[in-house]
Amino acid sequence: METPRTATLMGLDGRGYAVVESLPSLGKGRSCTGIFVTCGSHAEALETACRERRRVPFRGPTHFRHVSAETSLEVEITRVDPAAEPGGDVTVEFTARNVPYDLSV
């Protein structure tokens, strides 16, 4: 099993990644979806950002076709799953539109 990759979301340490896909139906641009896991104590701040539909910084491994790179992207949190047990981790899903073609940091 692969070791989880470290990442940050809103400056919070955790692990996660993003996957970028082309938007051929629109004829241009790319979007990404991603997942991030962090300490449950950050749930309130993450839920607030989700409710406010604020764009927040994600930094971590990002995959597009055959390229994987450490990148920084502005993303929008779409879902926050609370910790299953007290003191457990919280899982966050996020998305971004109009991802730049250059994935370098």
Model pLDDT for residues 34-52, shown as the tens digit of each residue: 999 999 999 999 999 999 9
- Report the candidate in 103, 102, 105, 77 with the shortest Cα–Cα distance to residue 92: 77
Per-residue pLDDT tens for 50-87? 999 999 999 999 988 777 888 899 999 999 998 767 77
- Go through 80-95 and write b for each residue having 16 or more CB atoms within 10 A of its CB, e for each that does not: beeeeeeeebbbbbbe
Q: Residue 87: what pLDDT?
A: 75
Q: Residue 64: what pLDDT?
A: 83
The DSSP code for 27 is: T
The beta-strand segments (E) located in the chain are 6-9, 12-22, 30-39, 55-64, 67-81, 89-96
Token pair of 97, please?
Answer: 């539109």
Q: What is the pTM of this model?
A: 0.84
pLDDT of residue 103 exceeding 70, the answer is no
61 beta partners: 70
Question: What is the Cα–Cα distance from 38 to 26, expressed in whole angstroms?
Answer: 34
